[in-house]
Amino acid sequence: MDKVTNDSYESLMQFLYRAPVALVQTNLQGDVEMMNPMGAQLLMPLSREGNLENLFEVLYQVVPQLKELVQNFKPATGPVCESLRFTLREKSRGIRTHRHLSISVQKLDPRCLMTMVSDATLEVEREQTGLARRLKDASRLDALTQMPNREVVKEHLALAMAAAPGDPGHEFAVLFMNCDRFKLINDSLGQSVGDAVLNLIAKRLQATLRLTDSLGNSDDRQQIAARLGGDEFVVVLGQMMRPDDVHAVALRLIDVLSKPYGVGTHQLHCSISMGIVLRAQAVGDADAVLRDASIAMAVAKRSGGARYVIFTPSMQELAVARAANEAALRIALSEDQLFLVYQPVVGLLPDGIIDPSAGVEALVRWQHPERGIVPPVEFIGLAEQCGLIGALGDFVLRTACRQFMQWQDVLGDKAPRLMAVNLSRAQLVQPGFVASVRDALQTCNMASKYLQLEVTESLAAQDEGVQAQMHALKALGLSLALDDFGTGYSSLSSLHQFPVDVVKVDRSFTSQADTSQHHRVLIDATVRVAKSLGMRTVAEGIETLSQAAVIAELGCDKGQGYLYSKPLASAQIVRFIQDFKQLPVHSLQ
């Protein structure tokens, strides 16, 4: 019986020493008690000085968590970890290669561990080959650009997030991109032009990434570029060895993708906003990482666009608050929390006579149940970004038109003769907007000549699509006003290019009309050029009699500001007109 036992033991030892996998027996502190030849062969490259006495120390560079896993494993026996992969970087004849190993640790008894290390290179390569094959599957490609789609990105991210420290792809960065003016291009020039731009973006993205493959020693399996949908693209950069590599790629992409796009006869400008999530900030699953990258992208867009922003956890808190504000705005639209006030626009007639019935400008306010009155600067931009601007703009226009007709019934000939309504960028490029304006006028039985729509100078100067929409609005018979003139990109020499009837001098000029000769000259020139083009002028922000005197002297047709009245409720407009007292404008020096 003893001979049989000895023979079995010898057979077992021969098997252990001839096994094609590394077998290492240690105590719970990692001290090596037994190691077969394959163990020494596989682990020796990890030892700094050829010392294989302690397994935890040998594996610390590639599996630093192993010691903690053992310490935290409380059962007397059982698997501590299974198939935990790590990578050996080797160099042969100047060629850098990767050898993938898999480690499993079994607790044999309360004091003994058995560790098995096997070569998983072929298995990893099969997985990578399988991933490459799946990428070629047409169902996993974006139909328009033939780039990988969201599902492929999520799988790629899942693999990267599951990789152990040191594995290829463990150190990654996600670059989430959105075009700053794509909606304007798509809405004003049509979907075919928009699709052409998206295809050009995809080609530039792929070409640029090929130029930057060497950053971080990445290869095609370690990075991916994809279209998520609409004008959203994402790049996952794998094995980025230094943070500066990510910044270099981001700056390069923003530069290349922001150059003009030639589509047919159009030369289109479409800058890129980008949000970045680095490996250190990546938490949760792939969807969570993409969400955080999109949050950072939105921050970049709100900061002016054409830039990138690195995600921080505080951004998520702000995004949650923003989502709450969006929900509150939706409730405000459905529960009549929004209302209009009206600021009088007075006529500046000869001999200092002021006409209080020249017109009014409609201004929207939000009666928040907890915050009180919310000014438009705090929610107009939000409405544009979350797709509510159409409903909000329609509410303002229809409410203003109905109120205008009610004043006609109450005041008769003394009623305001013009209703001015501001337009946002998103409204002006919205499909069907001209038809919605026509319908509002018809529904309220209001003649189009009584409506004035106001656009900012910078908006009117944007591109041919915007100006085509402005011409379509003018064809309805209403008037267009150029708001805040003097603060945008144009000059007096280009004023003739705008299809507008009225020029509104910005308050920043009006406020210094009586104290600055420079501003007085600018106002004078604006009035003269506007009159030469058959346009009327309105001075905004008049607050003092001396400012009013200068504005009247320079020949401005109308004035608006707190000198005459602050914005008023509809009933107060009636009293303003009925009780208006003339101001001695021309008698002042």
pLDDT tens string 398-442: 999 999 999 999 999 999 999 999 998 778 878 789 999 999 999
Q: Rounded CA gap, 439 and 451, in Å?
A: 13
Q: Rounded CA gap, 332 and 324, in Å?
A: 12
Please check whether residue 93 lies inside any domain of the structure. Answer: yes
Please check whether residue 587 lies inside any domain of the structure. Answer: no
Do the bridges between strand 261-263 and strand 266-268 make them parallel or antiparallel, or are there none, so unpaired?
A: antiparallel
* The pLDDT value given to residue 284: 86
* The pLDDT value given to residue 444: 96
* The pLDDT value given to residue 2: 57
Give whole-number Cα distances, 308 to 42, 221, 229, 277, 299, in Å.
44, 25, 20, 11, 9
Alpha-carbon dihedral of residues 518, 523, 526, 530, nearest 10 degrees? -160
Indicate whether 482 and 412 sit together in one domain: yes
Return the structure tokens found at 566.
């602050």
Please check whether residue 535 lies inside any domain of the structure. Answer: yes
* The pLDDT value given to residue 366: 93
Total domains, the chain: 3
Whether 513 contacts 547, CB under 8 Å = yes
**DSSP 8-state secondary structure symbol assigned to residue 279:** G
Give whole-number Cα distances, 298 to 247, 318, 326, 360, 580, in Å.
18, 11, 14, 36, 48
Phi, psi of 443 (to 5 degrees): -60, -40
Given a cut of 50, the residues of the chain with pLDDT beneath it are 1, 4, 211-221, 489, 585-589
Residue (of 509, 529, 527) closest to 519 by Cα position? 509
Please check whether residue 585 lies inside any domain of the structure. Answer: no
Greatest extent of the chain over all pairs of C-alpha atoms, in Å: 131
Indicate whether 385 and 504 sit together in one domain: yes
Give whole-number Cα distances, 568 to 345, 402, 483, 572, in Å.
12, 16, 20, 6
What domain range is 147 assigned to? 124-311
Please check whether residue 485 lies inside any domain of the structure. Answer: yes
* The pLDDT value given to residue 220: 47
Whether 437 contacts 478, CB under 8 Å = yes
Quick check: helix, strand or coil at residue 90? strand
CATH of the domain at 163: 3.30.70.270
Please check whether residue 478 lies inside any domain of the structure. Answer: yes
Indicate whether 432 and 573 sit together in one domain: yes
pTM to 2 decimal places = 0.57
* The pLDDT value given to residue 395: 94
* The pLDDT value given to residue 51: 86
Indicate whether 129 and 218 sit together in one domain: yes
- Cβ-in-10-Å burial (0-12, 13-18, 19+) of 267 comes to exposed
Q: Rounded CA gap, 414 and 358, in Å?
A: 9
* The pLDDT value given to residue 198: 95
Residue with tokens 């064809």: 475
23-44 pLDDT, tens digit each: 999 999 999 998 888 888 888 8
* The pLDDT value given to residue 350: 85
Other Cβ atoms within 10 Å of 328 Cβ, number = 18
The identity of residue 318, as a single letter, is: L
Indicate whether 128 and 107 sit together in one domain: no
Please check whether residue 14 lies inside any domain of the structure. Answer: yes
For residue 225, what are the β-bridge partners? Answer: 235
Q: Rounded CA gap, 585 and 548, in Å?
A: 6
**Cα angle: 533, vertex 534, 536; to 5 degrees:** 110
- Cβ-in-10-Å burial (0-12, 13-18, 19+) of 297 comes to buried
Indicate whether 412 and 276 sit together in one domain: no
Indicate whether 486 and 569 sit together in one domain: yes
* The pLDDT value given to residue 6: 59
Whether 262 contacts 195, CB under 8 Å = no
Residue (of 81, 96, 86) closest to 119 by Cα position? 86
State which of 119, 154, 185 marks the end of a domain.
Answer: 119
